[in-house]
Structure 1
Amino acid sequence: MAPCFRVAFFASCDDNYIPTTAAALLSFRRFFGDARHGYFIVGSHISNANADLLLKLNVTFVDVSNLCKVFETHRNARCTKYVKECFYIAAGPSVFYQNTEYDFCLSIDGDVFCQREFDLAGLCKPVRHVGMRGVGPLRRCFEDRAVRFKGECDHRAELIRLGFPEETVDSPQTLEYNTGVIIWNVRGLNRWWFELCERVFVGLDGAFESDQDLISMAAAHPSVDVHEFDECYNFNYSMDTYKANWKLWFDFYFRNRNVDGVYISHFIRGKPWIRGNAIFPMQQHLVNQWRAHIRSLPHGLDSRWEEARADYEIKGGMLIQALMHALFMWHMVNHVVAIPNLKYTTPIFTYSVYILTLTKKLHSALFAFAPSLL
């Protein structure tokens, strides 16, 4: 990689989520604070208070509302779960292509946390167009969306109508991707990627719940080269992954304090700013790292999250250990059985147990009944 190698770290969000997103970006700047790299938030509106905050933090806000108008004018009325700004992440390569300083851009969600330094150039180098972590065959996404939209939109058929090859759309190697962390090759994608996303968004009448739906389906086009990176760069401990890093999972379930192989955590389930959302020792350890980062932030950012002021007391009694061991074995068996059958990599049973253990009331009751077990 050339000495002038530069990366734009960015995220997209609405004004309400800017402080959280800024905190996530700053977790990367601890390790990649070189002046060659830049830190940005793209959105449509910013309040005076948040503009002042970003100025103090040296994070640049970029208004892309005109460029991303399509995500407002053509969005399906049924899709209200996420704000329109979540789709702006797809415009990243176009935005930074205009700024010829950057070779790559790395996008993150606001619930992402970088806890240790990694080889940034090594992660970016193999990416011709886009790098992401796969979570399962794309066809499972079609099946799920068919239920959500009650037959109103057939995403598979519409992609084929737009010129996507049927054999590619139906292939088990065509994946749905988690978009919490994405590497974009700015020069490789330039403007044509966003034009493809616009065409897919309009062609499917804006029937997308989130950016993950849109980006995964646009990435199914044969012109897009997707590099699938290891889940240690987007580790969400929800057991939903296409190519499992078994050492990482073994460490997560069987070690109480540290997982050296995790570089970037993605708190999909169990936000670190909500007390009681982490029960597994390793999960608590990662949340504690996030909270320590929050407490180190300047300009009063730490005061925005009351729960960040206290760490979890990490325990690992017999009950928790037994549950973790059982989940690990179930995860292994399910991963071997489910992937060839194109089913979800995480069964309903596993999610049910996971959600139950995250319930604050249940956790409190167990702790009151037998604290030594926890």
Structure 2
Amino acid sequence: MIEEAAIPDAAAQIAGLIFAVLLIDEDGRIRNANPAAEEMFGLAASRMLGRAYREVVSICERHVGAALKDSEQPLIARGVLITTALGKEPMNLSSSPVIAHPGWRVLTLSRSGAEGTPSVTPQPNEVGAPAVLAHEIKNPLAAIGGAGQLLGRRVSEKDRHLTDLITREVERIAGLIDRMQQLGSNASIDLGPCNLHASIRNAMASVRAARPDGCELIEQFDPSLPLVHADARSLEQILINLLTNACEASEGAETNHVVVRTRFVSGIVHSTIQSGKPVRLPVEICVLDHGPGIPEELRDDVFEPFVTGKSHGQGLGLALVRKLVRDLGGRITHERNERAGQTLFRVNLALAEKDARG
């Protein structure tokens, strides 16, 4: 006789949902949050509990925010622009009163397109650079660059700086177009088992070679971590960008070193729209620096294209990092600890399939 499997309790069922669930009390404070809410809002449940939900989930559309003030009224809204710690994003929202507890309600949020048929539309905040347009721009750029080099051989020494300027600007614009193409690319990545620490060390070696200023890179690795589900080249590019930013931020700081830490964490689940299944992300990479941090007014939009606190920055580096992390099925978050004077970027990844099953 086959024994009937035990039915998961309510807590286990809510924890497995791919959309965010918040339990709100009569004072509008968060009393419970599932793992998908942690992933969607970029905050651990412990940092949400007890806070007013409007501090965690800021609703940009006034009529929806006004409707939510009535805790006894059910509400469904689609495509509502909502701001969280990770930035602005259109979401589907519902509010359901808890009948047995007046004033209490359950708030659910999912990314627009997450319900029903899985959406394969590119993320709304990512930049697309059509290949035809890039081709049309880069062809004349190459001609300008070549003409600049020819002129540089013929002009006098006192005018050489002008042709050098032409060459530098052509290279800068070509690099900008390349990065925009990467942001808009939908090319598939070959994911598989990846040695996390080998990829990190390769990235560290590249950054050390490119920076003669001697910014110290410190490893704090958990040697017991298994293989992750990733692509080595993409992971190295993510780390090169984060480490380069951290080293630049550390220039002039009293503590001029960058720490790269790896560890195993529990309770982080990523709601993958493409697969329709929640995926655990137990492996964390943390890049920590002691620089002044990103300006406070930019922190909510730090992963958006063209947002930068650098005087000569393009604002594409972190946007590209976010895209690459998403391509790996992972997540990235940013934190600033003012008391400790630390800036932290955390990347969470899934285990390789064999280790995930085990």
| TM-score bin (small chain) | under 0.3
Which of the pair has the greater relative contact order for Cα pairs under 8 Å at 6+ separation?
1
Of Structure 1 and Structure 2, which has the larger fraction of its residues in helix?
1
Q: Could you state the TM-score of these two structures normalised by the residue count of structure 1?
A: 0.22
Of Structure 1 and Structure 2, which has the larger fraction of its residues in strand?
2
Q: Could you state the TM-score of these two structures normalised by the residue count of structure 2?
A: 0.23
